[in-house]
Structure 1
Amino acid sequence: MKNIFIFGYYGFKNLGDEAILASIIKTIKENDSSAHILALSYNVDYTEKIHGVTGVSRNNMIEIIKAIRVSNLVISGGGSLLQDVTSSRSLVYYLALVLLAKLMSKPVLFYSNGFGPIKNRINKILTKKIVNKVDKIIVRDEDSKRAMEDIGISRPIKVTTDATFILGGTGSDRALEILKDEKIPTDNPLVGISVRPWYFKESFIGTMAKFADYLSDKGLTVLFIPMQMPKDLEVSNKIIKKMKREAYVLKGDYIPEDVLSIIGKMQILIGMRLHALIFAGIQGVPMLGLEYDPKIPTFLKSVGQKNMGMLDKLDLVNLCIEFDDLWSSREQYSQELKEMIKHNQEIANNNKEILKTMMG
């Protein structure tokens, strides 16, 4: 029986990262149903309950060392784990896991990772030295490959796409059941909004509140969709408090596949969170992206969807104009989006063959 250790930003109830983990687990099991999977987690009970794998506490280095020691393969299951925008501490932490694995002579696979940005000179040197020891590197976009090469990573880098493109939802009936339980009306068209905490000015909250009122005045039901509890819920509620009209927000804790299905009920999604946008793409839901990180415009460009630009430069009038344009042509945008996503899903399936080779 193969033991596989996956590390990432798991157990924090971030649905994007949980979707990545679910996708990697699905791919591993398709290759080898008997594989024993261990996953790094902030909340071991949550990870074991949601994913049915063995959780390893990210705060217990002895347990982590044991997990790596018994593993036949170590997987970096990003997102963008290697970046120093949020902090250097997390970058050093994940690099240490790679180094530990290599010191124990374990094969390491970077599985559809994002990469960067890395600003600090010392961090760049450290990352270059350690990542050049990795056995196989797969990144989710060309920008990540370029960022790796720019700091001197010389290992071969294969570009595929985000791991979550292979994910499926729990179905339309489940989505409607959740909306009913949360008392969210479905008699008018639904428009989803996904926001997250960031270093934006208070004016962003006001702009989004006025925009949501504009949508409501058009006879649309506005639903805020948190992708990480409780952080996104708090920002969503701040916007709703500033609104003059009624809006709704998902309050429950749901698995990624549930939220994927709920987003499938939207006519349009306006989003900051990458995986809210990816979920919309999987469901053929046209989108307006709100940029806070380079990964957002990279994704939007890859699927031909609208980028509203940086948060602090967000213009209410332009937002409303772009929404109206998207609304009037949403069926055309949806059809084009489905074609592009189909291509991404085919590319994501390449990961399965690479993983199969690494599993031996």
Structure 2
Amino acid sequence: MKYTLLGSNSGRNAGDAAILSAVIDEFSRVDPDAEFFVPTTNMEFVRRSYAHLDGRVRPVNILPYTGSVRLLGPTTMAAMARSDATLICDGIIFDVRLFNPAFNFLITLVGLAPWARLVRTQLFGYCMGIGPLRTASGRRFTRWVGKYCREMLVRETDSRDLLLASGVDPSKVSVWADVAFVTRPAAPERVDRILSDLGLPLDEPLVGVNVTRYIGDWVATGGLDQAGFLEQFREVFAKLRARLAPARLVLICTQRMDLGFAQQLREAIGDAALPILINDPALEDGTGYDCHDLMGVMGRLELFIGMRLHSLILASAMKTPIVGIV
């Protein structure tokens, strides 16, 4: 079987990368000869991550010079035409900046969904997260995509409810789970090396903290801006240190774009030595790691406090106690 995997596959977000890895691992476990086409703006990430699978995972270039806008373009369409099934993975059905195809995935799926039927590739929503869907257009486009899907499997009940409220056929919708829960963590010896590189002891308790820069956009704050949030979090961080001593704290960025915000937080705290673990294996200074590395480190934590959904999912998968900040 051949599959095209539609998602945010650049490797810059540990949650997205974990979903991609888990889908490929699970399908390969059932069918060791399965082949995958992965539309991506980062060909090297896909090649490097799946080099061990002997060419069964093929990156599909969707950079603008290929004529692609996000997922919509000739390279993705050609991959779908060669596939037995096309899976919409990840949380790419939302209506934030809906009519900006350089940002929004849903607007591109509006074109790809009927194309799937035309080229006779079965279209599935696979363990998706849905939303936000705050506009009539967003709900209408979601219903349109659902019309062409054979099934739409979602990861939680809120996503199911959004699909049903958008008018998607209820017989197609079922609740499963987030596939990132079954992502493989890094080997223990690699985790030891990562902790050593970060200057963290192997024999002392550790607490991880994850923050996102999406303050006031994806994350509702009740009118609190980034500066106000930083000040509040600085105070919280000081209390955490006092209450959790002698545990060491480490900032964990599951999305590369959050690094600047994490650095601002570190500066506000006044601790230049506070380690930051970053999801981005392409960082030239060698301080970036991948989703498997982050999971391995999360498994060594006594507690994980996170804002991003998949930071909490990956920590939970490692049976680490979590506190979610919404």
Counterpart for residue 22 of structure 1: 21
Q: Does 1:55 align with 2:55?
A: no
What's the secondary structure of 1:161's corresponding residue? coil
Counterpart for residue 95 of structure 1: 110
Regions of 4+ moved over 4 Å: none
Q: Does 1:257 align with 2:292?
A: yes
Counterpart for residue 304 of structure 2: 269
Counterpart for residue 39 of structure 1: 38
Q: For 1:68-113, what per-residue CA distance to the aligned partner results, in whole angstroms no more than 9, with x for missing partners?
A: 11111111111x2110135443120133222321222210111100
Displacement after TM superposition at 1:253 (Å): 2.2
User: In 2, distance between residues paired with 1:95 and 1:26?
Assistant: 28
Structure 2 regions of 5+ residues with no counterpart? 52-56, 67-72, 217-224, 279-286
Q: Does 1:162 align with 2:178?
A: yes
Task: Compare 109-118 and 200-209 and name the one that shifted more.
Answer: 200-209
User: In 2, distance between residues paired with 1:58 and 1:236?
Assistant: 30
Contact kept? 2:277, 2:289, Cα under 8 Å: no
Counterpart for residue 241 of structure 2: 216
Counterpart for residue 239 of structure 1: 265
Structure 2 counterparts to residues 264-343 of structure 1, below 5 A: 264-291=299-326
User: In 2, distance between residues paired with 1:290 and 1:51?
Assistant: 33
Displacement after TM superposition at 1:179 (Å): 1.0
What's the secondary structure of 2:126's corresponding residue? strand
Contact kept? 1:221, 1:247, Cα under 8 Å: no
Contact kept? 1:50, 1:255, Cα under 8 Å: no
Counterpart for residue 198 of structure 2: 182
* TM-score, normalised via structure 2 length: 0.84
The letter for the 2-side match of 1:224 is L
Q: Return the structure number with greater helix share.
A: 1
Structure 1 regions of 5+ residues with no counterpart? 292-360
Q: Report how many residues are paired.
A: 288
Q: Does 1:130 align with 2:145?
A: yes
Counterpart for residue 151 of structure 1: 166
The letter for the 2-side match of 1:144 is S
What's the secondary structure of 1:138's corresponding residue? strand
Counterpart for residue 204 of structure 1: 229
Counterpart for residue 68 of structure 1: 80
Task: Compare 239-248 and 189-198 and name the one that shifted more.
Answer: 239-248
User: In 1, distance between residues paired with 2:92 and 2:3?
Assistant: 19
The letter for the 2-side match of 1:37 is F
Q: For 1:120-167, what per-residue CA distance to the aligned partner results, in whole angstroms no more than 9, with x for missing partners?
A: 212322221221220121111111111100110014211110011222
Counterpart for residue 81 of structure 1: 92
Q: For 1:170-218, what per-residue CA distance to the aligned partner results, in whole angstroms no more than 9, with x for missing partners?
A: 2332212101012234453211011111134111111222222223333
Contact kept? 1:101, 1:107, Cα under 8 Å: yes
Aligned residues: percent identity? 23
User: In 1, distance between residues paired with 2:108 and 2:132?
Assistant: 16
